[in-house]
Structure 1
Amino acid sequence: MNYNGIEYNECEEVYPPAEDTFLLIDNLIINDTDKVLEIGTGSGVVSISASLKCIEVTSTDINPHAIKCAESNIKLNNRENITVILSDLFENIEDKYDLILFNTPYLPVIEEEHVDDDYSKAWDGGESGREVIDKFIEQAPSYLKKGGRIQLVQSSLSDNEKTLKIFEKMGLKAEITAVEHIFFEDITLITAYK
């Protein structure tokens, strides 16, 4: 498969690139001197795209299948400025970055429909759709350089206004920078500046 010149393979047990992935790729706010961190890299296509425009990318995922998939797609695109790390959010991250990217697990999932496997961690946002988003926003500013940016994808179903308010409460200026309407929801890209 190919998106914007990036070759990739989809992998079992890994969230495949979709509209939310491409919304993030198409709206990256990135500089050639940036050190970039992507949380939840999945197949690695966002990190590969970012790596073409910056110094280095660190890609993480909680799903070991995604780590293998991302590594394989990185090799397929001959990218040598990407490091892949198994990590639950910032658990294994020590550095600070100019840009942090996260296509969040944003779908509201009621307890009875919750499945505890590697694949569903890519989209299951808990009952409110905010379980992982809120944890991420709480931790992310500590890993962001002064003047850095966070770009986060979520759904209108998981309360965009709440995300904007929490970022502002934490001292970041946040705004919706891109929207794509899909079926019964808007997929939104929120950019926050430190």
Structure 2
Amino acid sequence: MPGYPGAVKPLVPPGVYTPQEDTDLLVDALLEEPLPDGADVLDVGTGSGALAIEAARRGTRVTAVDVSWRAVCTAQLNAWMARLHVRILHGNLFTPVRGQSFDLILANPPYVPAPDTGRAPQGAARAWDAGRDGRLVLDRICLEAPALLRPGGVLLVVQSVLSRPGRTVSHLRDAGLKASVTRRRVVPFGPVLRTREDWLRQHGLLSAPDQREELVVVRAELPV
């Protein structure tokens, strides 16, 4: 994984999202987030478990969720190799943790705009394809995450500017949270955007000279 203290490169088999710049950016935000002793952390859409493992390194109680059984098994193996305890559950977004509450929720959801195929993303594409506006999962997070936060609890979510972080901030504020963009990073196109570049330009999501993508972290806190 890209460099941060104590990182161990996770095992990532085919079909599981490989940690990239968005993971790195969210880890940076995680490492700077003050957490109470024994905090309860939720990593939703955990993939390889990279974020969950970094949270567990801080001595927190971590629950990780993924809709992919392959990702669940991968995260379990990576936590075991790191000798850290992470509770890893299979399920769709927040469904497995209904009725529970957390001090911190981490989310690196799919956020890449994708052509409408008339069906939900399949296979590995579930880790990045997010509908024509890139908000297929982001809007659900904005709607459902606030109910799982304890007073003073924080949501950290990473996304692309292509999927309108201003809308994320607005939705979270409407839900009563204090929300803002706290981190930004400009990165070269990854393989998904390179293959989708023409479509993004045709739909006005990229200007002609763009060959880089801006990633942001949105931080939202539930007031005490």
TM tier, smaller: over 0.9
What are the superposed Cα offsets for residues 118-155 of structure 1, whole Å, 9 maximum, x if unpaired? 31111111110011100111011111111100000010
Cα offset, 1:11, TM superposition: 1.3
* Counterpart for residue 89 of structure 1: 93
* 1:188 aligned onto 2:216: yes
Q: Which has the larger radius of gyration?
A: 2
Cα offset, 1:114, TM superposition: 7.0
* Counterpart for residue 29 of structure 2: 27
Do the aligned partners of residues 114 and 124 (structure 1) sit closer, same or farther apart at CA in structure 2, a change above 3 Å counting?
A: farther
Q: Secondary structure at the match of 1:131?
A: coil
Cα RMSD after superposing both structures: 1.7
Question: Where in structure 2 are the equivalents of 1:58-73 lying within 5 Å?
Answer: 58-73=63-78
Q: Secondary structure at the match of 2:96?
A: coil
Note the residue ranges of structure 1 that are not aligned, 5 or more in a row: none
Letter in 1 for 2:218: I
Letter in 1 for 2:14: E
What are the superposed Cα offsets for residues 85-136 of structure 1, whole Å, 9 maximum, x if unpaired? 0010111113100000000100000114977323111111111001110011
| TM score, norm. by length of structure 1 | 0.94
Cα offset, 1:30, TM superposition: 4.2
Q: Runs of at least 4 residues of structure 1 off by over 6 A? A: none
Contact persistence 1:35–1:54 (CA under 8 A): no
Distance 2:34 2:129 in 1: 28
How many residue pairs end up in the alignment? 193
* 1:120 aligned onto 2:156: no
Aligned residues with identical type, % of pairs: 33
Note the residue ranges of structure 2 that are not aligned, 5 or more in a row: 189-211
Bigger mean CA offset, 107-116 vs 97-106? 107-116
Contact persistence 1:105–1:122 (CA under 8 A): yes
Q: Which is richer in strand?
A: 1
| TM score, norm. by length of structure 2 | 0.82
